[in-house]
Structure 1
Amino acid sequence: MTGVNFILGILSLLFLHAKCQLPPTVYQYYTEGGINSGLEALPGQFRLNGKDITLYSGSIHYFRVVPEYWRDRLRRMRAAGLNAIDTYVPWNLHEPRKGEFDFGAGNNEFSKVLNLREFLQIAQEEDLLVILRPGPYICSEWEFGGLPSWLLRYPDIKVRTSDLVFTGHVKTYFDQLLAQVVDLQFTKGGSIIAVQIENEYGSFGNFDEIKDREYLAFIRDNYVENGIEELLLTCDSPALVGDTGSLPGYLMTANFDNNPEAQFDRLLELQPDKPLMAMEFWAGWFDYWFGTHTGGLNPENFSKHLSTIFSYNASVNFYMFHGGSTFGFMNGANKIPVFPSYLSDVSSYDYGAPLSEAGDYTEKYNVTKELIALDNEVQTFTPEQPPLNPKIAYPAVQIQEYLTYVQLINQIPLDLVTEIQTVTNMEALDINNGNGQSYGLTVYRKKLDLAPTAELQIVGHIRDVAMVLVDGEQKTQKPQGSGALLGFGFWTISNSTFTIEGAAAGLNTLDVVVENWGRVNFGGPAYFEQQKGLFEGPILVDGVELSDLTAIPLELKSNWIQGLTGWQAFEADRNLTGPVMLRATFELAEPLQDTFLDMSAWGRGSVFVNGFHVGRFFHVGPQITNYIPAPLFKQGLNEIVIFEHYLAAELLVFSDVPILRG
């Protein structure tokens, strides 16, 4: 043996010796000797494959993180001491049109983030077990709670019940979905240790009434028929709803952000023979437009409540551990019993979570890591914390080109433009192969002779925000703050009126442009009547009802935006009034880095990065920046397109830090 080979041999032996001294991974520890059983809910304790386990889990949604960062975020979670993650599954992305399914191989807006199977496999590679939450309703501050909008084409459908129309579609979807993951169950060598039945069903409707347990049994039976063998569970806030949303004999878990004692004591009353788990320990909270960024629990209360959870010998799932971003038009909304009654969620899902929207470590991350280390009696190998991904404020970029509103409308495919007798909700429009319009804006157009001063009235409510244009010219004003909610153009006012001034003599084109700001994701049955657009009552001009309208869907799909033609040169120092599409291209070299687009100088609209819709912006906040993860950029020429409703800015300004106004 030469000297070099001898040294290499010694180093190899030392490496092997060191490797043998490392504690086992989670999977090594819980699969040693073969897999004989899955997760069991025994009195006071979970057991996995015959060994006691406390679940330290965190929520992460694969559809809110670009896939290039799935492994990065999961490794950061494992480095905090977590041994599991949970994820929801959004029906509306996986079946965007009735009978058309997309699990990552489609040509849809968000196909790139839909490979659930790959995500679950990466989780296992990163030594994390998985709790799967397929819904079909997921809440999650997600559009319509994850339900596809085409369900609303059935006028009498009762979602989240044993209504045969609804359950028929759920079965069709679940048959497709569960086939993607059935072989990834823990007992088959995969990552899934538990599957949730529906979601917070006890909070659906009146808290004190027993819910439709036939529907829950249907979900359970469908799981079983599709080969799901792992532990099944439900989640709710038991101190508030008791067992009204559960199925007898199945594990109940608790959702809360404070007073763990009340939730766990109630669970112990309801199921004394089962272990305790906080299925959603709300680590932070979400934001809505016109509101302020709070981040939910502060680190001190977060630490206090987590310590209490562990004092009950309970397992925990942090909701969220990493929120990510709500891309595109997929934000949800909440109904509340006071003004303004409807709160539309922002695109950032930072959530005040232990890992920020951009994956940065926060004080809550450090608290989590410290307390798990103190509580966990099973020593397994924990990786080092990955370094932070660098952020950069790229140099400002000048807007170079634009398309007017008229140019945009003229490029809508004719097969999407429909004639309607009177106002019609977007879902009912006879387009997209019978699926209607799901997201974006709908233009209600009428050609007529307007008086120099005309009174427009929209009978009923607007769903949700409207602009008025005459001959392509914006007539409504940029909202300056929450005071705008007291005037025309928002959902808050019934039978609202608007004075149109300055119409040219002769035949005019009147457009009422209505934006879906997100269907409600939480509440009782009435909250799930979520049609969007204009449909409650007609449009009146000077007291005369308008009929024989044209409906034009402005869906702003990425493929359409990337195919737009006729761009005009943008002139600096010009006040370019929206609605308008603006475009800037710029060169980037390696290494590409995360950044934030500062939209404080803009009004309201959407941002597209190399064709990918990263989300909405609105100058009133609290979200001021849009996070752009580095993988959305490419070496060489890049493109950012902005759809602006009111008044365009001249520059794209980048930041290396997020701006969320408190």
Structure 2
Amino acid sequence: MLTRIPVIYMMMPSVLLLCLLVSFSLGDLPTNYEYYTSDGISSGLSTDQPTFYLNGKEIYIYSGAIHYFRVPRAYWRDRLRKLRAAGFNTVETYIAWNLHEYQSGVYDFGNGGSDMEDFLHLEEFIQTAQDEDLFVIIRSGPFICAEFEFGGFPSFILRDGQDLWVRTDNELYMNYVTRWYNVLMPILAQHQFTKGGPIIMLQVENEYAITGYKDHNYLWHLRQLMLDNGIVELLVTADNPWKGTDGAYPEYFLMTGNFDSDAQTNLDTLKSLQPNKPIMVMEYWSGWFDYWGQQHQNKTADQFKEVYEAILSYPASVNMYMFIGGTNFYFLSGAQNLAYDDLNTKFTPMTTSYDYGAPLAENGAYTDKYWIAQELIAKYNPIQTKLPAVPDEIKPIYYPWVTLDKQITLDTLLIHALSDTSSNLISMENMNINGGSGQSYGYVVYRKTGLTLSANSVLKIEGRVCDTVIVLVNGVRVSPILETSSDLNNFGTWRTNDSTLILNTVDLTDVTVDLLVENWGRVNVGAYRQYKGLWEGNVLINGNIISDWTLYALEFKKSWTNSLTDWTSVTSRDINQPVLYKGTLSITGTPGDSYVYMEEFTKGIVIINGFVLGRYTKMGPQQTLYLPAPLLKEGDNDIMIFEHYQPAEQVKFVIEHVYTNH
């Protein structure tokens, strides 16, 4: 690969041109770090002029977003090298507070004991970025949005109830933030550019203007916490330019903008808000995300190119959100509630896939947008540095179909689950489990035993379910199946308020009623105190309030799932209650990437060797789950499906995503 040669050279004699080509060949160019640090490091990013200067040299930041917690650790180097090979000089990532502090005061930065531990080697990710000749932008929140579960907040903070108000200078909230930042910031401080590391910029909060709070004391305190913990690099905020200065202290932070259209107007707005300062787009949206039950999103390559080129030619620095979207593994996809209340009024959950229509597909494959970005950066970047060769793709493979021949029914699963008792209904977050941190993810089952039900007894759930409920009478499901998008309008979902259901048609005594509630993902936009389970009101049968419940937490943590021994052979697939099924995938040789095809199932989760791969639902649009090779091993692999309704007999594998709607 050669650098761009000015047009005048093309008119020179061929021998001279050949000499120039050789002299300007890739091998003679400095690396990114050689160019900016060859004379030593004396300063970080400067914003005292209309363009950025790094260590005294002009720089346009060409960044791409890669979230370490959405890409398997074994693939970090591959994705980062692909970023650098396209001409980018910087990688941007959020920091997921809810993963690193997975229980109150308990932290995981790799090998820390959580199910996501292998994704959480934050310092390794930062160091790998530097090894791959990339600078780093850190967006540390504490709120990150990111279409991620609870916008990155840990759910245990909700245990403080109505006295806690996130994203403000609220004392209860800031106590949690202070404790977290006092752990996180010293780690990041060691990797700052002026300390010899790659971090050149850190963001304070995220799209704060959208809250409407305008709590400048809050932003000031976040800044002070960072400074007190050794942060010296440039601090920025990021908001939609049309929000003005509502999300920032312009005297303390450089404002950056988020948008994907009308680049000229948005960039002009940023310039007018900060005269004679560098202009940067923190989020240029390369694509978009999907919601369960809605159509698959697709931003075309032409749409992508038009706005990206307008930004580069302005000229402005820009971070592409996303360069690779990756996957919402485990239970980590977020949601929106555009009613902007905490009552689930317009809850809209997001899919397991965060492919985002990005330049790199979810599995790291190149898309048309990759080559467009490479072409445009080469065209507009005034600084030429050495780039690696474009890495080969990791090709997905087919695996043999796996027969699900073992099962554990819901009744048996509950024998092994953590439990709590309460006279009244409480949310999963307020259960007295996990060292006082409550339940974050999965399912909570509310059980009432010893009931006497006359024929046609009516169950009523006051308020809304958070988020869906399956009702069982003596272990048999009596609530409707949620299979299609239109089914979300029926009993059992957040869309029905004060919903009712007939439990039985004949008189029954000594009855057990189970209400299995699934957390489909806490909102990242639209509400900031969203509890999961049944908590908005009472549960009544024939008008009588039911009390004294036993609650069971089905969290499907890896250690718990792998310890289950009560497997029986599958004799029927019409049990009419949620069932955990298991089969064996035998692999000879080194495992490869694949996709688990789930359209023949109805709704539930896929578990690979104890690790929750993610959610699926037949309603779509996503019908496949990306299965990265690092989650597999040579030999026998456990494939488990927790199916809520109607299973298929076999699990099938394909080599690309399938999108359909039902």
- TM, length-normalised to structure 1: 0.93
Q: How far does residue 513 in structure 1 lie from its aligned partner after superposition?
A: 0.9
**Structure 2 partner of 1:449:** 452
1:586 maps onto 2:585 in alignment = yes
**Structure 1 partner of 2:616:** 617
Q: Deviations over 1:56-79 (max 9, x none)?
A: 100010000110000011111111
Q: How far does residue 21 in structure 1 lie from its aligned partner after superposition?
A: 4.1
**Structure 2 partner of 1:644:** 643
- Work out whether residues 578 and 648 of structure 1, in 8 Å CA contact, stay in contact via their aligned partners in 2: no
- Work out whether residues 592 and 635 of structure 1, in 8 Å CA contact, stay in contact via their aligned partners in 2: yes
| Separation (CA, whole Å) in 2 of partners of 1:367 and 1:502 | 63
| Separation (CA, whole Å) in 1 of partners of 2:104 and 2:339 | 33
**Structure 2 partner of 1:365:** 370
1:481 maps onto 2:487 in alignment = no
Q: Deviations over 1:340-362 (max 9, x none)?
A: 71110100000011101011111
**Structure 2 partner of 1:422:** 424
Aligned residue for 1:434, secondary structure, equals coil
Identical aligned pairs, as a percentage?
44
| Separation (CA, whole Å) in 1 of partners of 2:580 and 2:370 | 40
Q: Structure 1: 5+ residue runs without aligned partners?
A: 1-16
| Separation (CA, whole Å) in 2 of partners of 1:20 and 1:305 | 29
The alignment of Structure 1 onto Structure 2 pairs a total of residues equal to 634
**Structure 2 partner of 1:10:** none
2:354 to 344, 349, 355: 349
1:176 to 162, 176, 183: 183
Q: Deviations over 1:133-182 (max 9, x none)?
A: 11000000011100011111111101110011111111111111112221
Q: Which amino acid aligns with 1:305?
A: V
- Work out whether residues 43 and 272 of structure 1, in 8 Å CA contact, stay in contact via their aligned partners in 2: no
- Work out whether residues 270 and 279 of structure 2, in 8 Å CA contact, stay in contact via their aligned partners in 1: yes
2:230 to 221, 227, 232: 227
Q: Which amino acid aligns with 1:643?
A: F
| Separation (CA, whole Å) in 2 of partners of 1:451 and 1:654 | 47
Q: How far does residue 20 in structure 1 lie from its aligned partner after superposition?
A: 9.2
| Separation (CA, whole Å) in 2 of partners of 1:202 and 1:178 | 24
**Structure 1 partner of 2:44:** 38
Aligned residue for 2:508, secondary structure, equals coil
**Structure 2 partner of 1:463:** 466
**Structure 2 partner of 1:551:** 551
| Separation (CA, whole Å) in 2 of partners of 1:637 and 1:365 | 36
Q: How far does residue 471 in structure 1 lie from its aligned partner after superposition?
A: 1.3
Q: How far does residue 281 in structure 1 lie from its aligned partner after superposition?
A: 0.1
Aligned residue for 2:457, secondary structure, equals strand
2:322 to 320, 327, 330: 320
**Structure 2 partner of 1:334:** 336
1:431 to 425, 428, 433: 433
**Structure 1 partner of 2:199:** 192
1:306 maps onto 2:311 in alignment = no
**Structure 2 partner of 1:512:** 515
1:217 maps onto 2:220 in alignment = yes
| Separation (CA, whole Å) in 1 of partners of 2:111 and 2:379 | 43
| Separation (CA, whole Å) in 2 of partners of 1:520 and 1:85 | 26
- Work out whether residues 470 and 503 of structure 1, in 8 Å CA contact, stay in contact via their aligned partners in 2: no
| Separation (CA, whole Å) in 1 of partners of 2:537 and 2:227 | 46
Q: How far does residue 482 in structure 1 lie from its aligned partner after superposition?
A: 2.0
| Separation (CA, whole Å) in 2 of partners of 1:318 and 1:134 | 17
| Separation (CA, whole Å) in 2 of partners of 1:58 and 1:340 | 35
Worse-superposed segment, 606-615 or 478-487: 478-487
Q: How far does residue 543 in structure 1 lie from its aligned partner after superposition?
A: 1.1
| Separation (CA, whole Å) in 2 of partners of 1:366 and 1:18 | 23
Q: How does 1:22-171 map to 2 (within 5 A)?
A: 22-155=28-161, 156-171=163-178
Q: Structure 2: 5+ residue runs without aligned partners?
A: 1-22
- Work out whether residues 209 and 239 of structure 2, in 8 Å CA contact, stay in contact via their aligned partners in 1: yes
**Structure 2 partner of 1:14:** none
Q: Deviations over 1:169-211 (max 9, x none)?
A: 1111111111222111111111100000111101113xxxx61
CA distance change for structure 1 residues 226 and 67 in 2, over 3 Å: closer, same or farther?
same
**Structure 2 partner of 1:291:** 294
**Structure 2 partner of 1:400:** 405
**Structure 2 partner of 1:577:** 576
**Structure 1 partner of 2:540:** 540
- Work out whether residues 71 and 122 of structure 1, in 8 Å CA contact, stay in contact via their aligned partners in 2: yes
Q: Which amino acid aligns with 1:40?
A: S
Q: Which amino acid aligns with 1:179?
A: P
Worse-superposed segment, 113-122 or 503-512: 503-512
| Separation (CA, whole Å) in 2 of partners of 1:218 and 1:505 | 60
| Separation (CA, whole Å) in 2 of partners of 1:68 and 1:578 | 38
| Separation (CA, whole Å) in 2 of partners of 1:405 and 1:612 | 19
- Work out whether residues 340 and 485 of structure 1, in 8 Å CA contact, stay in contact via their aligned partners in 2: no
| Separation (CA, whole Å) in 1 of partners of 2:158 and 2:424 | 18
Q: Deviations over 1:23-74 (max 9, x none)?
A: 1110111111111111112322011111111111000100001100000111
| Separation (CA, whole Å) in 2 of partners of 1:455 and 1:21 | 77
CA distance change for structure 1 residues 503 and 65 in 2, over 3 Å: closer, same or farther?
farther
- Work out whether residues 590 and 633 of structure 2, in 8 Å CA contact, stay in contact via their aligned partners in 1: no
- Work out whether residues 576 and 648 of structure 1, in 8 Å CA contact, stay in contact via their aligned partners in 2: no
| Separation (CA, whole Å) in 2 of partners of 1:590 and 1:39 | 48
| Separation (CA, whole Å) in 1 of partners of 2:148 and 2:443 | 18
**Structure 2 partner of 1:9:** none
Q: Deviations over 1:321-353 (max 9, x none)?
A: 101000111111011249971110100000011
| Separation (CA, whole Å) in 2 of partners of 1:373 and 1:18 | 15
| Separation (CA, whole Å) in 1 of partners of 2:300 and 2:123 | 35
| Separation (CA, whole Å) in 2 of partners of 1:639 and 1:91 | 30
- Work out whether residues 472 and 577 of structure 2, in 8 Å CA contact, stay in contact via their aligned partners in 1: no
Root mean square deviation of aligned Cα = 1.7
Q: How far does residue 298 in structure 1 lie from its aligned partner after superposition?
A: 1.4
Q: Which amino acid aligns with 2:262?
A: N
